[in-house]
Structure formats: structure tokens, C-alpha cells
Amino acid sequence: MISCFYGETKRRSKKSSISSSEGVFTCPEDNLPLDYAKIYPDPDAEVAIMGSVVYCIHYKEGCKWSDELRKLQGHLNMCKFDAIPCTNHCGAMIPRLVMEDHLLYTCPKRRTRCEYCSRDFTGETLENHVGSCQLEPIYCENKCGSKIQRRHQANHRQHECTKRLVPCRYCQKEFVYDTLQIHTAKCPRLPVSCPNRCDVLKIAKEDLEVHLSDHCTALTLPCTFKEMGCKFKGTRSALDQHLEDATKPHLLLVCGVVSRQQHHINALRTTLQGLTLNTSGTLLWKISDYSRRLAEAREGYELCSTPFYTSQYGYKLMATLFLNGNGAGEGTHLSIYIKILPGEYDALLQWPFSHTVTFILYDQTSTVDQACNIVESFVPDPTWKNFQRPSKEPDALGFGFPRFVSHDILKKRHYVKDDVMYIKVKVDGNKTIAV
């Protein structure tokens, strides 16, 4: 087809047209080249075409208009679905149907008013204003849940917000406002009154313990000698005065305690001796610090062994030693004696005491077969009164050897080695047996 109608081609220009490419026209129907010189207006066809019935070009959007083609342009000038430039000159093409909405709500050139501050804006400037309007209520950024006008936010966060940080007035540490009360009740610096109602007005809770133990002037304290039996109680200052005044009664109390303790110690010592009692009839006596003890012996000191029994229910004996000699041996010899002490079973034993007593001084040489021990024994003389049953007073004389061994011999061999001497006392009860 080579004849075309202008009006028709113009109206359908979006879909098809006589197109030109480098001056050559093609038919919109079959794309064959057209000769421009052969195109001409055709009034008969125009009448026929313009009389054809068509739908509105916005049929798909919902316009139901349908009439002759010649009336289409007139309809489009009123069609609700046809787009026209925004009457507010924002430049947008808007279908008539939604122009009212556009002018009211979306046109950037529309006149509008901020719902919070009521100031007038164009659509464009309102967009900038929203988000900064000082009268707009917004949620507190501390998440306290309050909705406050933007202009009051700073003041709210500083003075009213329940989530603001505030310092504890006592310890100065910072707390979220709504937890402050809980903290205050537990704050270690909370001022409290002294329970003794002393002259100190308020004390930080954490300091109360030290105050009560060390500083409170109203506290009643027991006397320092309470354990000794003093019943005094008073304030710190009254106690100081009492200690000044009561020296003598305090001293008496202490004496009483010392004496009771002494009794107690004696009782314990007796019990202890009972537990460690030697009932073998043999005493091995180690004398340490020989040179120091010899020097002491020159001043008259006597060394006493621990007491021992001749058997479990036998005689109670004790050896005594004069390192610098005694009697006939004084200054030249070592003297050794045995003493009979009042024992637990004396009432059942035979008197006079008649066991053989042997003293042995050991030679501590390293080769035992060459040792030359010094041994002396005696059989008690039944006529001597000290072998009778002893009285309660254990100050009876002993029996033994004032010249047991001379100082000269002591210096030889190894009787004293490493400043130590060993003496054995052996009591032989074969002849007389305890009941």
C-alpha cells in the first residue's frame, strides 16, 4: 500500500510511521521502500477513515469512550485518562483523573502546611523541613519511651529523662536515673548514724565498722583484764581512767590466775610424767653441753636425772651428778649418786631398799671392742637410813661415788665426745622383788 493519510499517521506515530532512512522512505505495513513522489493526499480515503469507529487510546486504562475517529481528538481533550502537564507547572505529565491528588499530595510545587508547626511550605521544601521541625514530637533517643517535641529533647535528656546518667550524691559514681534509688540504699558512702548515738553525727556506711571498733566514744568496752576476772565496763575514756586507777586490783587478779595456772601446769606435768614414765630399772642419761654444765657445776650446781622406776610398780629413783665433784671428790672428780624418791607404790614394797646399783660411764670410741667403759656398783647397806622408805620430802641424801672418775681420766679416751657424755644407771632387782 502506498497511499497514506496524514491524520492517521500522525495519531499513530508512536506505533508506526513512514520512516526515513538516509532519505529513503519505507512503508509502515510491509517495510518496502516508498517513492516519496508517489505519496499524495486522498480525500476520499480520509473521509472513510475518519468515519471509522475507534476506541479511546486509554481503553486499556479503563476509558470506555468509543466513536468516530474524527471525534477522538475532541475526546482526548477531556479524557480523564489522558495525561496533561501539571497545572502547578512542576513539569510532570499527570492523567486528569489523578491531577487533584497530585496537586494535593505529590506535586513538588504544591502549597502545603507542616502539621506540627503549621508553617506553609511547597512540597519540596516540606521534605527538607520534615526531620528538623522543632515542634515535631519524637521518641527520646535514650529509649526511655517518652515522645517529646524536638526543641525540648536536649532539656529532657539532661533533666527529665529516666534513662539519663546522674552521679550518686554520696559516692559520685554515675548511674541511670531510674536505678539510682536502688543504688543509694546500698551505696557504701551513704551517711548513717552511729548506733551508739555518740557525738559523731553521720558516718559513711562502709566506715561504720572501723568507727565502732576504734573510734566511737560512746561504745561500752570491757576492761582489758576481763579474762583475769575484772568486771569493769565503760566508754573508751572511762576505761582509760579505770586502767590508771585499778593497777593494784588488776595485779592481784593476775597473781590469782598465775597461781591457778601453775597448779594446772603441775597437774599436766604429773600426767605427762606418768605417760613417759621409765619403768625399765635402767636409766641412760645423756649429758649435753658438757663444758657449759661443768662451768655451772663449779658454782655448786647439781644435775638431776629424770626419775625412773625399777619396775612398773617398783621403787622410784633419780640419779644426781656433780661434774665438779662433791665431798671427797670436790674439784678433782666427777661424783655420782642415786636417790630414792617417794614413789606411788612405796607402801607395798620391801624396805630397806636392797637392789644392786651400777653406774657406767661410756667410752664413745668408734671401735666398740676397744671401748673402756668405767663401771662401779654397790649393794645397799641395809643399816643406812637413806635406804629406808623415803618421807614426802624428797631432799634425802643420795648414795654413790664422790670419786667416781677423776677429771684427769675424763680428759683421756672419749668419755666426753662432741661435748656430750653418756651415763647408764642400772638397778638389779634379782635379789629383792617388789610385791
Which residues make up the interface to Zn ion (CB under 5 A)?
56, 58, 63, 65, 79, 86, 88, 90, 107, 114, 116-117, 133, 140, 142, 144, 146, 161, 168, 170-171, 187, 194, 196, 198, 216, 223, 225, 230, 232, 246
CA distance 128 to 4: 54
Shortest distance in whole angstroms from residue 298 CB to Zn ion: 48
DSSP state, 417?
Answer: B
Least separation in angstroms between CB 52 and Zn ion: 17
**284 and 424 Cβ atoms separated by less than 8 Å:** yes
* Residue 141 Cβ vs Zn ion, minimum distance, rounded to whole Å: 8
In whole angstroms, the minimum distance from the beta carbon of 173 to Zn ion comes to: 6
Which residue lies nearer to Zn ion by CB, 168 or 341?
Answer: 168
Q: Which is nearer to Zn ion, 29 or 209 (CB)?
A: 209
Q: Which is nearer to Zn ion, 198 or 321 (CB)?
A: 198
Nearer to Zn ion, 217 or 306 (CB): 217
Burial class of 389 by CB neighbour count within 10 A (0 to 12, 13 to 18, 19+):
middle
Cβ closest to Zn ion, residue 248 vs residue 286: 248
Sign of CA dihedral 387, 388, 393, 396: negative
- CB nearer to Zn ion: give 140 or 427: 140
- Taking the complex as a whole, the smallest distance from the CB of residue 17 to Zn ion amounts, in Å, to 23
* Backbone φ and ψ of 97, nearest 5°: -55, -40
Pick between residue 187 and residue 294 the one whose CB is nearest to Zn ion. 187
Query: C-beta of 255: minimal distance to Zn ion in Å?
Result: 14
CA of 44: how far to CAs of 4, 29, 69, 435, in Å? 12, 20, 15, 174
User: Any residues with CB less than 8 A from the CB of 359 and at least 6 apart, and which?
Assistant: 319, 336, 375, 376, 377, 400, 401, 404, 423, 424, 425
Opening angle at CA 418, ends 273 and 291, nearest 5: 75
Give Cα separations from 62 to 65, 66, 76, 101 (angstroms).
Answer: 9, 12, 14, 18
d(CA 110, CA 107): 5
Residue with smaller CB distance to Zn ion, 146 or 326: 146
Nearer to Zn ion, 253 or 405 (CB): 253
Please list the residues that pair with 34 across neighbouring strands. 25
Q: What is the full DSSP assignment across 285-318?
A: EEE-SHHHHHHHHTTT--EEPPPEESSTTS-EEE
Q: How far apart are CA 145 and CA 148, in angstroms?
A: 10
d(CA 310, CA 282): 7
Q: How far is the CB of 257 from Zn ion (least distance, A)?
A: 13
Element (H, E) at 319: strand 316-322
Residue 260: CB minimum distance to Zn ion, A: 18
CB of 63 to Zn ion, least distance (A): 3
Beta strand residue intervals within 22-92, DSSP E? 24-26, 33-34, 53-55, 66-68, 83-85
Angle at 17 between CA 12 and CA 23, to 5 degrees: 155
Output the smallest distance, CB 53 to Zn ion, in A. 14
Q: Which helix (H) or strand (E) holds 123?
A: helix 123-129
Q: Shortest approach of Zn ion to residue 58 CB, angstroms?
A: 5
Report the residue number, 209 or 419, with the smaller CB distance to Zn ion. 209
Please identify, using beta-carbon distances, which residue of 232 and 415 lies nearer to Zn ion. Answer: 232
